[in-house]
Structure 1
Amino acid sequence: MIVGLTGGIGSGKSVVSAQLKTLGAWVVDSDQIARDVVVAGSPALAAIAKHFGHEILLENGTLNRVSLRQKIFADKAQKQWLEALLHPLISCAVDAQLATSHGIYSVLESPLLLETLQYKKTSFVVVVDTSEALQRQRACQRDASEVDQINAIMNAQLPRHERLLRADWVLDNQHDLKYLSAKVLQLHQHLCQMTEQTL
């Protein structure tokens, strides 16, 4: 069984996926894959540098993510160009990692699970949910980003109410870590039961 795990920026997806991994799930992190496909020397990074100019690279030859983020959120056409380049590469890498799964069940962690076709790879969607105010607060603290930039990312993601409508299971992350941990354990037990029923 492949479980899709998603949520808005700053919702706490990574905390949830880390706990599920500890409990025995096979976790595929699409964000990490997105970073891997643009490492220094990769064809994708070369294409990005050719398109945006070499100022999109840092001195050590790696991608200047802050600069790229500013460019694509300021220009929808540039964002679409980047997605057309990267999404097929990410999808292939996701499939390869899911195929090697040896966990109790697999988890595809993705901030854009429902915005892209990634949700079609899954049979059960978990949404980590918190208020938009908490999202902004956590994301600004974690990324040292400006509120305007966090708002731009949030606006590019599916609205909160639409994510919740498409969830098979909602994890409330508006409390402390102890509360969240207990809710994740409940989710894990439910997923184990579902997996046993399909065997």
Structure 2
Amino acid sequence: MAHRLTIGLTGGIGSGKSAASACFERLGICVVDADVVAREVVEPNTQALADIAQHFGPAIIQPDGTLDRAQLRQLIFADPSQKAWLEALLHPIINQRLKEQLTNAQSAYVVFVSPLLLETTQHQLTDRILVIDCPPESQVARAALRDNIAPAQIEAIMATQLSRTERLARAQDVLHNHGSLDDLEVQVGKLHQRYLALSSRLD
């Protein structure tokens, strides 16, 4: 099977990765999202969720059988060794699932969305890095509104991610998410044409 051009889309928390990936999907492009896969591997009745409950105790499971993400987030931010344990459990499962989805993608090219694309080995699965960028104050405001979490916690998450400068230095392409959704759509449309041209060279 021929190699399919894989675009790695990343950006800090609240930068607009979901909005950008939705633009690509509207153009008929297959999107593989690391956050979606990370949720799927800990759904009720999965082995990973059972392992997490055994390690952190049954209180980590909510009455409806799902993982208490807010509680888990607090536990791993408070204790780096717990974060390391969780990553050792989940990263191999997640990466295997991501590779399968990227291989099975049925579009001219594939967009792989991951918040930690450049902080982990996931960037090795991509051909080009596309960074979505916006001012840090916009990131905090958007993430607080979306996730209903305190600005201080968002800033703590931002501190674990690459700095804006480092991320931009590693990008081959940049989406500037400073304006409207229409503006973002126009930028994605231009990149789409570029990626179609690049992918045709791989065929």
Q: TM-score range by the shorter chain?
A: over 0.9
For 1:105, the equivalent position in structure 2 comes to 109
Q: Does 1:192 align with 2:199?
A: no
- Matched to 2:140, the amino acid is R
Structure 1: distance between partners of 2:58 and 2:165: 40
For 1:19, the equivalent position in structure 2 comes to 23
Structure 2: distance between partners of 1:7 and 1:94: 18
Q: Does 1:148 align with 2:128?
A: no
For 1:92, the equivalent position in structure 2 comes to 96
Among candidates 4, 9, 33, match of residue 5 of structure 1: 9
Among candidates 119, 123, 129, match of residue 125 of structure 1: 129
Q: Note the alpha carbon deviations across 1:158-193, whole angstroms, 9 max, x for none.
A: 111111011010100011111111111111111111
Cα displacement (A) at 1:57? 1.0
Among candidates 139, 157, 161, match of residue 143 of structure 2: 139
Q: How many pairs are equivalent?
A: 199
Stretches of structure 2 lacking an aligned partner (at least 5 in a row): none
Structure 1: distance between partners of 2:84 and 2:146: 26
For 2:78, the equivalent position in structure 1 comes to 74
Structure 1: distance between partners of 2:85 and 2:162: 19
Among candidates 29, 34, 38, match of residue 42 of structure 2: 38
TM-score, normalised with respect to structure 2? 0.96
Cα displacement (A) at 1:198? 2.4
Cα displacement (A) at 1:143? 0.6
Structure 1 residue ranges, 4+ long, deviating more than 6 angstroms after superposition:
none
For 2:119, the equivalent position in structure 1 comes to 115
**Counterpart secondary structure, 1:31:** helix
- Matched to 1:27, the amino acid is V
Structure 2: distance between partners of 1:91 and 1:8: 20
Stretches of structure 1 lacking an aligned partner (at least 5 in a row): none
Q: Note the alpha carbon deviations across 1:9-29, whole angstroms, 9 max, x for none.
A: 000001111110111211111
Q: Note the alpha carbon deviations across 1:91-121, whole angstroms, 9 max, x for none.
A: 0000111111110101111111111111001
Structure 2: distance between partners of 1:25 and 1:66: 32
Structure 1 vs Structure 2 CA RMSD: 0.8
Structure 1: distance between partners of 2:123 and 2:190: 22
